[in-house]
């Protein structure tokens, strides 16, 4: 399957580039439209990255990144329903430049209000830990609302 930045992405994941011998480089793009399949795609993309750059499954930095990505990704896919739709829709991009892995999740759901600064809920709470966990294990976690678009940026130095 060919990929293009000028034509609409298909619903299937798309590997953009192969890593090079000099400086590790990797890009992966996908459109996520269902919670379970979307989460499977997020996990599969990190596993593909891990294999391509020769990191063990026990690599702590990639394990932390994958945990944060699954927490943020689950929130996006649960709540990112464009106006008038019952299904989520999000664009996902995973990149590795040198020793930094970056994920960008873009959605057209409702805005997030003050969730990034919320403290970790008590241990008895069954929900609400995802953002706090992601903040703790990532080097950078960003959220931006521009117009009707939410953008999440997750960064981890390997």
No. of helices (H) and no. of strands (E), the chain: 3, 6
Q: Domain for residue 5, yes or no?
A: no
Q: Is the pLDDT of residue 6 over 60?
A: no
| Nearest-10 Cα torsion for 126, 132, 137, 138 | 130
Pairing of strands 100-107, 140-146: unpaired
pLDDT band of residue 64 (cuts 50, 70, 90) is very high
pLDDT the model gives residue 8: 47
pLDDT at 84: 78
Domain membership of residue 30 (yes or no) is yes
What value does the mean pLDDT of the chain take? 84
Range of the domain at 141: 14-157
What pLDDT sits at residue 5? 46
Q: Which domain CATH number covers 21?
A: 3.30.565.10
- Look at residue 3 and tell me if it is in a domain: no
Token pair recorded at residue 62? 């990639």
Q: Is residue 88 domain-resident? A: yes
What is the tens place of the pLDDT at every residue in 123-139? 665 666 789 899 999 99
pTM for the whole structure: 0.79
The domain total for the chain is 1
Per residue in 71-81, pLDDT tens? Answer: 999 999 998 88
Spatial separation of the C-alpha atoms in residues 114 and 100, rounded to whole Å: 27
> What is the pLDDT averaged over residues 89-93?
95
Q: Is residue 27 part of a domain?
A: yes
Q: Which residue has the tokens 């943020």?
A: 72
CB 64 within 8 A of CB 36: no
| Contact yes or no for 60/39 (Cβ under 8 A) | no
Would 2 be classed as within a structural domain? no
pLDDT interval class at 7 (50, 70, 90)? very low
Tell me the average pLDDT across 8-29: 62
Q: Does 62 fall in a domain? A: yes
Specify if 4 maps to a domain: no
Contact (CB, 8 A) for 153 and 140: yes
The residue-averaged pLDDT of 58-67 equals: 97
Residues 6 or more apart whose Cβ sits within 8 Å of residue 30: 9, 11, 12, 13, 14, 41, 45, 91, 92
Residue 124: CB atoms within 10 A of its CB come to 5
Higher-confidence residue of 108 and 22: namely: 108
Looking at residue 11, its pLDDT comes to 53
The contacts of residue 119 (CB under 8 Å, 6+ apart) are 132
């Amino acid at each position: 399957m060919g990929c293009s930045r000028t034509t609409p992405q298909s619903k299937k994941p798309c590997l953009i580039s192969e890593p090079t011998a000099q400086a590790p480089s990797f890009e992966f793009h996908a459109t996520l439209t269902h919670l379970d399949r979307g989460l499977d795609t997020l996990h599969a993309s990190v596993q593909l990255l891990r294999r391509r750059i020769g990191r063990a499954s026990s690599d702590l930095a990639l394990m932390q990144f994958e945990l944060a990505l699954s927490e943020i990704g689950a929130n996006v896919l649960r709540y990112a329903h464009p106006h008038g739709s019952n299904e989520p829709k999000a664009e996902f991009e995973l990149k590795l430049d040198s020793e930094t892995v970056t994920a960008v999740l873009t959605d057209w759901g409702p805005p997030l209000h003050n969730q990034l600064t919320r403290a970790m809920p008590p241990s008895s709470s069954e929900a609400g830990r995802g953002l706090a966990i992601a903040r703790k294990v990532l080097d950078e976690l960003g959220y931006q609302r521009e117009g009707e678009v939410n953008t999440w940026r997750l960064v981890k130095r390997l």
